[in-house]
Amino acid sequence: MIYDWLFRLTGSETAAAIIQSLLPLFLFILPFALFAVLLERKVSAHMQDRLGPMRVGYHGILQTVADIIKLVQKEDIVAKDNDRLFFDLSPVIVFTGSYAAFAVIPFSGIFLGSNIDLGLIYIVAVTGLVVAGILMGGWASNNKYSLLGAMRAAAQIISYEIPTLLIILVVIMVSGTLNLYTLSEWQTSYFWNWLILGGPVFGIEKLLFIPLMMMSALIIFTSTLAEVNRTPFDIPEAESELVSGYHTEYSGMKFAMFFLAEYANMFAVAAIVSALFFGGFQSPFGYLGDLFNLPWLIPIEQFFWFTVKGIFFVFVQMWLRWTLPRFRVDQLMTFCWKYLIPFAFVILIIVGLITVLV
């Protein structure tokens, strides 16, 4: 584990813990956000038969770096009637909420922020912090568009938490653990043992689980997509109706915090879907390290597969964003309460019966 190595390097538990908790931010989320913003612009451009940013660097690969430099230099505009304290606090709370989720996501066999038993539920819990932060920002902006956007965001995230939790319950019943690390280890490094294909236990229940798990994966992907407020579920920041939703009034670095939180959230959600149903950090067809007897290679391969799966799901999110039109508010709620939740309940009951009877 990286923690033991840091502990030997620094000789102090506190220092090792602090360095370990900062690692995902500086080594992963910031570079990922730079990459993802560029990817989003390139994907959208190519889907619309354009080229996207082309000027800064080869095919525009340094565009986001230039954007960040521009954002840092910008003036921080605060309107006179903004509620100063909560206006400043809101981006911090939103980012804390989305970063806190990374504490339990296993990046590789040797790197995991905190190996707590309640990983999955913990992620759901810290999402609550994001909701409160968004409401805080929308209210403190003292702007009708911001407040409407914040209300929509809160209502949406809370509604879509229910199907997410139900599917998490399904996974708990099949695997018997809430720990994301154990869950990834349990779905061994061969793709036919992943939960999407019924889990590693061979028998009649594996056959029965396959269609149910595929539906579950679809439901949890949809509902987590809604939780990060991405199109087709982006009514909280619908540009044509609400200017920019709850962060209309924000500028400069505070806006960048919201932006970073959104991309961190996208990756967190992708990582959760891949950890639940697609084996997490496990390779689909065994490890080269095992094949050539090089044990140090395995963690690097695991990190590679984790990143590839995460970026694949982030790509699917972008793909959907530039393919589907936006939902209306009532359609959004109908979709959650009348379709996703009943389907999730039926899957929950069937899986429960199968685990008890078979």
Partner 1 sequence: MTTYDIIFYLFAAVTLLSAFFVVTNRNIVHSAFYLLFTFFGVAGIYVMLGADFVAIVQLIVYVGGILILLLFGVMLTNKITNIEIKTDSINALPASIVLGLFTGALGAAVLNTNWKVVESPAPEATTTALGNLLINEYALIFELLGIVLLIAMIGAASMARK
**Chain positions contacting partner 1, by CB under 8 A:** 13-14, 83, 86, 93, 116-118, 121-122, 124-129, 131-132, 135-136, 139, 142, 144, 147, 151, 154, 158, 161, 178
Q: Cβ 318 to partner 1, closest distance in Å?
A: 28
CB closer to partner 1, 45 vs 173: 173
Angular region, 286: left φ>0, alpha ψ -120 to 50, beta rest: left
The tally of CA atoms less than 13 A away on the side-chain side of residue 164 is 23
Q: Which is nearer to partner 1, 315 or 337 (CB)?
A: 337
Task: Closer to partner 1 by CB, 14 or 240: give it.
Answer: 14
> Cβ of residue 152: shortest distance to partner 1, in angstroms?
12
Which CB sits closer to partner 1, 185 or 290?
185
Q: How far is the CB of 148 from partner 1 (least distance, A)?
A: 9
Q: Which is nearer to partner 1, 36 or 135 (CB)?
A: 135
Determine contact, residues 196/327, Cβ cutoff 8 Å. no
Nearest residue to 299 (alpha-carbon basis) of 272, 286, 277, 281? 281
Choice between 51 and 85, CB closer to partner 1 = 85
Give whichever of 4 and 117 is closer to partner 1, judged by the CB atom: 117
User: Which residue lies nearer to partner 1 by CB, 34 or 154?
Assistant: 154
CB of 210 to partner 1, least distance (A): 27
Helical ranges in 243-296 per DSSP H: 252-277, 288-291
Instruction: Name the helix (H) or strand (E) containing 139.
Output: helix 119-140
Tokens of 138: 């929308």
User: Shortest approach of partner 1 to residue 276 CB, angstroms?
Assistant: 18
Task: Read off the amino acid at residue 195.
Answer: L
Under DSSP, the state recorded for 332 is H
Output the smallest distance, CB 125 to partner 1, in A.
4
- In the complex, the smallest distance separating the C-beta of residue 124 from partner 1, rounded to whole angstroms, is 6
Would you call 131 exposed, middle or buried from its count of C-beta atoms within 10 A (0-12, 13-18, 19+)? buried
In whole angstroms, how close is the CB of 121 to partner 1 at the nearest point?
5
Structure tokens given for 61: 């690969």
C-alpha dihedral, 107 to 110 to 116 to 122, nearest 10°? -10
Q: How far is the CB of 138 from partner 1 (least distance, A)?
A: 9
Decide whether 63 or 156 has the Cβ nearer to partner 1.
Answer: 156
Strand partners, 108: 111
